[in-house]
Amino acid sequence: MSATIISERTGAQKQDGASDLRARIRETFERQQAHRWNVANTTADERVAKLKRLKKLMLERRDDLLRAMAADFRKPAAEVDLTELQPVLGEINHTIKHLKSWMQPMKVPTPPQLIGTKSMVRYEPKGLVLILAPWNYPFNLLMSPLVAAVAAGNCVVVRPSDKVRQTSALMATMLRDVFPEDEVAVFTGPSSIANDLLELPFDHIFFTGSTRIGKQVMHAAAEHLGAVTLELGGQSPVVVDETADVDTAAQRLVWGKFLNGGQTCVAPNHVFVHVSKQAEFVAAARRTIEKHYGATEEDRQKSPHLCRIVDAPSEKRLRDVVERSVAAGARLEVGGKFDPADRYVAPTVLSNVKDDMPVMEAELFGPVMPVIPFDSLDEVISAIQRRPKPLAMYVFSESDRNIERLLSNTTAGGTVINNCIIHLANPDLPFGGIGASGMGNYHGFFGFRALSHERAVMVQSRLATVRLFYPPYTKVVQRAIDALTKVFALQGR
């Protein structure tokens, strides 16, 4: 099967036609296969040394990273530091601190009937790992899984997004400066490269992107029975109930929604606000937007603190859903300005949104905040249950009962109470989705484990009680088996 990844930018299949590039990809893959056992048998100190070299180069090239991301989609320098550089540095630091203990075999109990044995789990590298990275956080979402893959002792091929060419070119240069190609290889260029890579039998594919493309990646992996980690997305809901501190909720949600121009997989997608608080919430959101980005629409477009939309089709898609939703009865409270030439979408707030409006059809992935008034928590729970399982959910409430009801009657990849997005900053929490929002998780030990094979090992001493149950199954043996069955029956009462 030849997997075809449809270009996210154009929706058209792109054929590379460069047989020399395909040959180089296959040659690199084969070199990594030949080298994998050398990498697999590296010590914790050797792996840490690689991560330290990567960290050193990241800090040396920080200014280059700021310039590259500004060129690609005018990402503010502060957001590059906060959401790209610092999270990867945090992953490296956490891994350096804990890697030696993660690599130790984990001893596990042995049941009484296996007396004379000892049991353990060994964490072994998967082998060859392919990382397909997205454009929205191009540095963070390539480097963070790479840290986990290197820590676990794998050989890695990475494919940065072709939508952020300056950043992708910089990352390729950096990785080639740190790693030999038979350990970490980088392929940049047209989207057809992903098709060529997916034809190869990687042991694990780590993909971050849309649910639609994630299904294609999973299909390709299935041809080789390869494992996958799929970090996808979805419509991450927010609930602001009648007990919430509305001003605080608005401040935190405006930050989380408009960060990176709203192009964040865990961004608050839409906000359920208790009907008694909707006007207050909208007013607080407007004040916060004016404080963060400027008092007028003209000021906001000139603001250096607002990221641009990545491409023209994405700007057009957002403009279309906003215009159609306003025509369907949504109220435009803030924003609504679009400038295709500048790829600018103003921070936009819509109120009185209904579940069947265009703005609710799919994940927005842009700076548009729909506000949906509700009367009872039951209708919110029902609305969340009807949609595919989201990557994140956020609850603003001072009611323990309401919080527990929402946690017990919904599911999401992760949930934050009285804030948003910040769960990603804790490397001791797993990050990942469920159902349509993803499969598998990573960060910290969870990433190391995801890209390791958990090998069961049992060591038998000279004493082996299992010999008591060898054939022939005499009456004596049967009585021993019956006695053991009674032991199992009595346990767990």
Distance CA 134, CA 140 (A): 10
Is the separation of the CB atoms in 273 and 349 below 8 Å? Answer: no
Cα–Cα distance list, 324 to 222, 278, 337, 474 (Å): 40, 22, 14, 80
What is the number of helices (H) and of strands (E) in the chain?
A: 17, 20
Q: Check the CA dihedral 362-364-365-371 and report its sign.
A: negative
Which candidate, 55, 54, 21, 39, places its Cα nearest to that of 156?
39
Query: Rounded CA gap, 63 and 51, in Å?
Result: 20
Is the backbone peptide bond immediately before 180 cis, with ω within 30 degrees of 0?
Answer: no
Instruction: Give the pair of three-digit tokens for residue 211.
Output: 């649910």
Dihedral sign for Cα 170, 132, 192, 233, please. Answer: negative
- Which residues are bridge partners to 231 per DSSP? 208, 438
Catalytic entry in 231, 315, 333, 363: 231
231 an active-site residue?
yes
Please give the DSSP secondary-structure letter assigned to residue 465: G
Q: Which residues pair with 122 in a beta bridge?
A: 455
**Whether 265 is catalytic:** yes
Q: What are phi and psi of 9, to 5 degrees?
A: -80, -45
- CA–CA separation, 94 vs 148, rounded Å? 11
167, 84 Cβ separation under 8 angstroms: no
What's phi and psi for 228, nearest 5 deg?
-135, 150
d(CA 133, CA 307): 20
User: Is the dihedral angle over the CA atoms 71, 73, 76, 81 positive or is it negative?
Assistant: negative
- Whole-angstrom Cα distance, residue 274 to residue 374? 5
C-alpha torsion sign, points 438, 444, 450, 456: negative
Q: Which SS3 state, helix, strand or coil, does residue 268 take?
A: coil
Select which of 84, 91, 265, 363 is catalytic.
Answer: 265
How is residue 309 written in tokens? 């939309």
Asked whether 395 and 403 are in contact (CB, 8 A), the reply is: yes
CA distance 366 to 473: 70
Residue 39 backbone class (left: φ over 0; alpha: ψ -120 to 50; beta: rest) = alpha
Catalytic residues: 231, 265
